[in-house]
Structures are given as structure tokens and as C-alpha cells.
Amino acid sequence: MPSIFSKIVSGEIPCYKVAENDAFLAFLDINPLVPGHTLVIPKKEVDYIFDLDTPTYHGLFAFAKDLAPNLKEAFGSKRIGITVIGLEVPHAHVHLIPINSMKDMDFGRPKMNPTSQDLQAWLQKING
């Protein structure tokens, strides 16, 4: 059974797409910690990030690196935080989070429940 993220890759489930190439996809988290919270995934489905083959692992972080300046600019944040958790969705992914303080990366606090208009507006900020 494909992961929810593989269903996003195949187009079976829609997403708010930030960027894509042959091997990687970035899209907005639907329950973000802060506006602009973005997930970056390899299209290839592997559960645990440290089980990725090394080129894919490096490629994932390089793809994330390329997105960070634009995200930072779009949300006017101090930094883009990066983290890997992976306890919820069994498909390797990196969280990119516009942050102004430590609490912006606190996964223990309640997540946002944005409307599709909110998500569309954030995407517009990122992609212009």
C-alpha cells in the first residue's frame, strides 16, 4: 500500500506544490506549525531517512537547501529550520520551517489547521 506521500507524488492526492524535479517534491504541510511549513520528500518511497541510498539522501538535502532562501524571503523569517521526525508518515521527509524563535519548531504544540485559501496564499508568497 503506497504511503500518503506516494499518493501525492502520483497525483492521487492533491498538494500545494512548492517545487519538483525528477527525484524530489516539496509541498506545504497541511497541518503546519507555522505558515510556510514545507515538506521535502524523495519521490522514491523509503520509510526511514537513513535507509535512503546515499545519492538520494544527499540529493534530498541539496534540494531542500535550494528552497530555503526563497522560503525565508517569502515569510520574512529569521531562519529556515530543518528537521526530520518521520513518526507519522512512513515515507522519508524533511521539514523546512520558517522560524523566528525556538518555539516555532516545537512539534509538541498544537498544529495549525489552515483553510485552502490560506495554503494557496502561502504558496503564492513562495512561488509568486
In the set 18, 29, 60, 98, which binds ligand 5GP (CB under 6 A)? Answer: 29
Q: Specify whether the CB–CB gap between 37 and 86 falls below 8 A.
A: no
Q: Which stretch binds ligand 5GP (CB under 6 A): 22-30, 58-66, 68-76, 96-104?
A: 22-30
Lookup: cell for 126: 513562495
Q: In whole angstroms, what separates CA 53 from the centre of its chain?
A: 20
Give the residue among 24, 37, 21 at the shortest CA–CA distance from 126.
Answer: 37
63 to 102: interface string for ligand 5GP, x by CB under 6 A: ----------------------xxxxx---x---------
Q: Which residues sit opposite 95 in a β-bridge?
A: 39, 83
Q: Which residues sit at the interface with ligand 5GP, rule CB under 6 A? A: 4, 13, 15, 27-31, 39, 85-89, 93
